[in-house]
Amino acid sequence: MTTDSLNFDASELPFIHSFKGVTSMAKLEVLYNSECPICDREIKHYKKISNSDISYVPISPASLNSWGLSENQAAKKLHARLGGKKIVGVDAFVEIWAKLPYYWILATFVKLPPVKFLADNMYSIFLAPMLFSLHKFRQKRASKKEE
C-alpha cells in the first residue's frame, strides 16, 4: 500500500467529530422570515456570533423555489438544510445552536428526550403558530396601508 492511496480530501467526509459533539463539515443553510421582527432579531444575533459554516437565507421567491416551499410553509416554522437534508422547527434550532459558541450547551440540553419532547410541543403548538399569526397580521395591515 502506498501513501498516495491514503491521501484524501477531508471535505469529502460527511462528518467530523469534535470534543463538543458531532459537527458537520457541510454548510448549514437557514431559511428565515426576515419580515418577522422577532425572527430577524434572533438571526441577526446568530449571524454576529457564527462563523462561515452557517448561511442565513431570507424568505424570497428565489429561496422558496430553491427550498421547494410555499411562502406560508416557510413562514410557519424555521427551516434549515444540511447536506441536502431538510430540518424543521426545534431540530433546525438545535443544528444552529450546535455550531454557535456557548449555544452548543443549549443544543446538547435540548436534545435530551424529555426536553426535546417539551420543546417540540411548545414550539409547534404555541410559539410557531403565534409568530405565524403575527406575520399574517403584519402582512394584512401592510396591504391595507397600500390601498
pTM of the shown model: 0.79
Q: Please tell me what DSSP assigns to residue 127.
A: I
More confident residue, 106 or 3: 106
Q: What is the pLDDT of residue 67?
A: 97
Q: Are 92 and 127 in contact (CB under 8 A)?
A: no
Domain ranges in the chain are 16-146
Confidence band of 144 (pLDDT split at 50, 70, 90): confident
pLDDT in tens, 47-91: 999 988 999 999 999 999 999 999 999 999 999 999 999 999 999
Alpha helices in 1-147 (DSSP H): 37-49, 61-67, 71-76, 90-98, 103-110, 113-122, 128-146
Query: Is the per-residue pLDDT at 18 higher than 60?
Result: no
Q: What is the pLDDT of residue 52?
A: 85
Q: What is the pLDDT of residue 25?
A: 63
Q: Are 37 and 137 in contact (CB under 8 A)?
A: no
More confident residue, 112 or 16: 112
> Residue 99 phi/psi, 5° resolution?
-100, 0
Confidence band of 146 (pLDDT split at 50, 70, 90): confident
**Is 106 buried (19+), middle (13-18) or exposed (0-12) by CB count in 10 A?**
middle
pLDDT in tens, 101-130: 999 999 999 999 999 999 999 999 999 999
The CATH number given to 16-146 is 3.40.30
